[in-house]
Structure 1
Amino acid sequence: MSTYIDTVHPERHAPYLDIPDDVIDYLHYLDFVKQRSPRTVNGYYLDLRSFFRFMAVQWNLASEDTEPSQIDLRSISTQQIASVRKRDIFNFLEFARAQSNGAKARARKLSALRGFFGYMCTQANRLHDDPTANISLGTPKKALPKYLTLDESIELLKNVQSDFYSRDYCILTLFLNCGMRLAELVAIDLGDFRDETIRIIGKGSKERLVYLNSACLQALDHYKKERASLPNLVDKKALFVSKRTGKRLTARRVEQIVARCLQSAGLSGMGYSPHKLRHTAATLMYQYGQVDMLALKEILGHENVSTTQIYTHINQAQLKQAVESSPLSKVEYTPEPAVPQAAKDDGEEPEPSDSHAETEASALK
């Protein structure tokens, strides 16, 4: 994660000072006008910085041997940016592939470039031509979400080993039941709870209400009691805090907590993470709760239902089960029975041959 994201306050980011002024203006446009989340803005920053580091070498502002972090991009002018051509975009995308960037990563970089050059042409009116126009990489395949099974989820909750058990158990319970994002979880304040719901601030500062089931309410009740007795509570509004410092937990610290719990449950090294727990919550709700897709979209905070539809992969297992439940599914193949020769001769008569037709024609004369 870039240091430009404030780990204590993930809704904030530091000023961007190592990129061209035009790019800084674009990021401010994304932040204040489009109201994109800090993580989205930070992602665009990283991709655009990567592009202009590549172009700095093409413009002889740096050599190929220069460390990327040592390339000074602040002097790049609007005139130089205006010189970017379509072939430069293709060359950068080819360079990204050589750097082991997969199709999804390259598509994200192209999206960042489209956004920036579109802004320069239509919003800022600083460029006349958009070098990204009509460039398409196709639609990258959507990978099926990786998730814990129901048994693995129960095993994870049964094997929490921590010096702050109630807190870490509560973290896992909220992830597995509410399907919230990591950034959403660390940003929760005590004031976000009302009755049996929690107010979650999602991407683009969009708010949503998520209902808490009995497992969440019990876990929260036990944790809040221990939290209230901490002697050095600093961030009094924050829900999840450090036992040692009393400050709000960072996203990185929560990742470490989840990793340790996964290891205790024998689930480490399997690619699971806080985001995979979000996938798990969505998958289990869809699989066992028969949750409507639109309802699941609201719970997860997706902008479009097309994003949520990735969880319909569960239908494949249900369809297979339905087919296998047919009463004829156990009927085994039997060899073709022997058929008497006489029965075989009872089929359709063969078409008359040409010689037979000629004989009939002669008889008619």
Structure 2
Amino acid sequence: MPNQSKPKWLRDFLIYLTAIKGKSKRTRDEYDYDLTLFFRFLYAVQEDLPTTDLASISIAELDIAFVRNISLEDMYLFLAYCEEVRQNSAATRARKVATLKSFFKYLKTKKQLIDDNPAEDLETPKINKKQPVYLKVPEAKQFLSHIPSKTHYYRDYCMMTFLLNLGLRATELCRLSIGDVADRYVTIVGKGGKERSVYMNDSCVEALALYLEHERKELADKNENEALFLSQKGNRLTRQRLAKIVKQINEASALHKTNLTPHKLRHTSATMMYQNGADIRSLQQILGHSNIATTQIYTHVEDETIKQVFENNPLNNMEK
């Protein structure tokens, strides 16, 4: 729960995010961080205090009158501070804009604590779109063939197979429980608690069967845990541990991919599905995206593929 060192109207908003909007604790903590920084910054500016030590500023006594006096210009001043002083990227500042928009909309439409929403016309910084980093098929095969763990080979191989074949988020993989698997389908709980059912291909079915037979029974004896993927002590694996496992396999495989993460394996899975015929709507459903614009980043086509399209044009190299 949000701590008591914050004003009630801020604590209420943070509770609303999880209790009503279904946001994860991680997302709520990000909103909490952004808003706390925002109010500390504005208080420092108003009181002519240095902005070099905002962490020492308490916002517990700020009242709703302070919020009502906030203007659009105050927000742009805050974003400029984040860019110039804190060296925040456009993506990080865009997240702060989203936080401010959500917070002030809540105050106006849900709580009726303010008459005007100063964030209504707040613009989002332009973010240069980056092509998602992913493994090519030979690299993915090389990655899977170099699982270094002797103790947890079957577990790690199954997890990597799930990431590369089902396109799961790291959190989704770690949240899987035994009861989520039925026949050839696995039930995924995604962002906002939304469920989706994903079909398991032969590779996933075989990898899971080997893991259940050779490892999970022994791990489960140490702790009656319903989690599908267990640690050495029989506890549910964490995202942090999963990231370390991916890093270890990356090193063992000699791929040496820069900053290879579970999320980049998700990119790999999505890219391979798209390149092998999955349409954008099907891909959206498989990946659990609420907005199809998010899915569209996976529809990139490599330069060589594009060149081949032109080369294969039936009107190319016609006899004159």
CA contact (8 A) 2:90 2:125 kept: no
Instruction: Tell me if the contact between 1:235 and 1:248 (Cα under 8 Å) persists in the aligned partners.
Output: no
Match of 2:230 among 241, 247, 250: 241
Q: How does 1:1-365 map onto structure 2 within 5 Å?
A: 14-60=1-47, 63-66=50-53, 68-98=54-84, 99-137=86-124, 139-162=126-149, 163-225=151-213, 226-230=215-219, 232-243=221-232, 245-268=233-256, 270-287=258-275, 289-314=276-301, 317-326=304-313
| Secondary structure at 2:300 match in 1 | helix
CA distance in 2, matches of 1:111, 1:327: 48
1:56 and 1:165 map into 2 onto residues whose CA distance is: 54
Deviations for 1:48-90, whole angstroms, at most 9, x for unmatched residues? Answer: 1221221231233964342x44332222221112221222101
Q: Secondary structure at the match of 1:200?
A: strand
Q: Would the aligned equivalents of 1:235 and 1:241 in 2 still touch at CA under 8 Å?
A: no
TM-score (norm 2): 0.91
Mapped to 2, the partners of 1:231 and 1:29 lie a distance apart of 37
Between 1:314-323 and 1:151-160, the stretch displaced more is 314-323
Query: Shift in Å at residue 313 of structure 1?
Result: 1.0
Task: State how far apart, in whole Å, the 2-side matches of 1:108 and 1:178 are.
Answer: 28
Give distance in 1, aligned partners of 2:284 and 2:49: 47
Q: Residue 292 of structure 1: CA displacement? A: 1.6
Contact kept, 8 Å, 1:30 with 1:41, in 2: the verdict is: yes
SS at match of 1:199: strand
Letter aligned with residue 102 of structure 1: S
| Separation in structure 2 between the aligned mates of residue 317 and residue 16 of structure 1, nearest angstrom | 54
* 1:126-160 deviation digits (Å, cap 9, x = unpaired): 11222213221355333221111111111110111
Cα distance change, pair 119–327 in 1 and its aligned pair in 2 (3 A): closer
Q: Secondary structure at the match of 1:209?
A: strand
CA distance in 1, matches of 2:2, 2:252: 40
% identity of equivalent residues: 37
Q: Which amino acid aligns with 2:187?
A: R
| TM-superposed deviation, 1:213 | 0.7
Instruction: Summarize deviations over 1:228-270 as a string: whole Å, max 9, x none.
Output: 0237532520111111x21111111111111111111123351
Q: Report the secondary structure of 2:204's partner residue.
A: helix
- The TM-score with structure 1 as length reference comes to 0.81
Q: What is the distance in 2 between the residues matched to 1:330 and 1:218?
A: 47
- Report how many aligned residue pairs link the two structures: 315
Residues 273-313 of structure 1 deviation map (CA, whole Å, 9 limit, x = unaligned): 110010000001111x2112111111100112222112221
Superposition RMSD in Å: 2.1
Please give the secondary structure, in 2, of the residue aligned with 1:229: helix
Equivalent pair of 2:35/2:100 in contact (CA under 8 Å)? yes
SS at match of 1:320: helix
User: CA contact under 8 A between 2:7 and 2:59: conserved in structure 1?
Assistant: yes
1:18 positional shift: 4.2
5+ unaligned residues in a row in structure 2: which ranges? Answer: none
Distance (Å, rounded) in 1 between the aligned partners of 2:27 and 2:220: 37
